[in-house]
Amino acid sequence: MSEIIKTEALTYAYPTENGLSAPVLKGVDLQIRRGEFVAVLGHNGSGKSTLAGHFNAIRLPTGGVCYVDMMDTRDESNTYEVRKTVSMVFQNPDNQLVATVVEEDVAFALENMGVPPAEIRKRVDDALKSVGMYEYRTQAPHRLSGGQKQRIAIAGVIAMMPRCVVLDEPTAMLDPQGRREVMEVVRELNHKYGITVILITHHMDEAVQAQRVVVMHRGNVLLDGAPREIFTQVDTLRDARLTVPQTIEILHELNVKDGANLKIDALSVTECADILEQYLQ
């Protein structure tokens, strides 16, 4: 079986004082294959973070099933293995670092897993080097910038050597510099280590870097495909209250206002410039 995560008619409603809330997820069918780099896009309240919580058994389906590596997440005896297979990085870098020293924090998950001390040392050093934070290993986390803290959190995940990493808006609280640093590390997770990456985001320029984009809207999958196929559907995306990458937006505007009839699938600035150059000539 090539899917690492598979949901079937997944529904979820938050528990409230008077029973359940209105469903946040309304029958999601989704398959994530091994080694993929998937971006999950969606407006606030589209259910994208709730969906991410299911991949790691933080949330359990109120209806339907979620399989992680063929394990049913509803079965409590699977929870530990599910979390070993799929790790998670959260939005707020401050609220996911446990230890007072950087290297101790990276070691935290390994200590919980009962890995022998010598191997922990090695894996921690390797993980810190791969996110470029090795020189900071004896520092206190509160002295680091947001981007650096988030890289520490990712190093903690790399050290666990999971098969899949879910990142829930990891750049939402960072400045542009921090966002660049973190995205670079995220791409490496997938390219260099072959880890399946699921990136929850609402930044188009981040989603563009993925192999596959899933657009969530009102608790369901609206679009699912390669970035080029998705972002050219400008009107559908706008209905889902999402913007499109600026490169596509400018070409689309030219088509609508000037009847330019251009190809609008430019994902990078260079591609966009080439198309514009041809048009102007």
Partner 1 sequence: MLKDITIGQFFPGTSAVHRLDPRVKIVLTVAMIITLFLAAGPISYVIIIGFLAAIIGISGISPKLIVRGLKPVLFIIIFTAVLNLFYTPGDYIWQWGFLHISKEGIKIAFFMVLRLMLLIIATSMLTYTTSPIQLTDGLERLLGPLKKVHAPVHELSMMMSIALRFIPTLIEETEKIISAQKARGADFESGNIVQRAKAMVPILVPLFVSAFRRADELATAMECRLYRGDVGRTRMKQLKIERVDVCAMVISAVVLGSVITLGRFGL
Q: Which residues bind partner 1 (CB under 8 A)?
A: 56, 58, 80, 83-84, 87-88, 90, 92, 94-101, 103-104, 107-117, 120-121, 124, 140-142, 156, 160
Q: Are 195 and 189 in contact (CB under 8 A)?
A: yes
Work out how close the CB of 258 gets to partner 1 at its nearest, in angstroms, rounded to a whole number.
Answer: 48
DSSP state of 244: -
Q: Are 188 and 129 in contact (CB under 8 A)?
A: no
Helices (H), the chain: 48-54, 79-85, 102-113, 117-130, 146-160, 176-191, 204-207, 227-231, 234-239, 246-258, 269-280
Task: Pick the closer one to partner 1 by CB: 96 or 145.
Answer: 96
Task: Pick the closer one to partner 1 by CB: 122 or 241.
Answer: 122
Work out how close the CB of 4 gets to partner 1 at its nearest, in angstroms, rounded to a whole number.
Answer: 17
Task: Pick the closer one to partner 1 by CB: 83 or 203.
Answer: 83
Q: Are 52 and 130 in contact (CB under 8 A)?
A: no
Work out how close the CB of 32 gets to partner 1 at its nearest, in angstroms, rounded to a whole number.
Answer: 18
Work out how close the CB of 117 gets to partner 1 at its nearest, in angstroms, rounded to a whole number.
Answer: 5
Task: Pick the closer one to partner 1 by CB: 159 or 213.
Answer: 159
Q: Are 86 and 68 in contact (CB under 8 A)?
A: yes
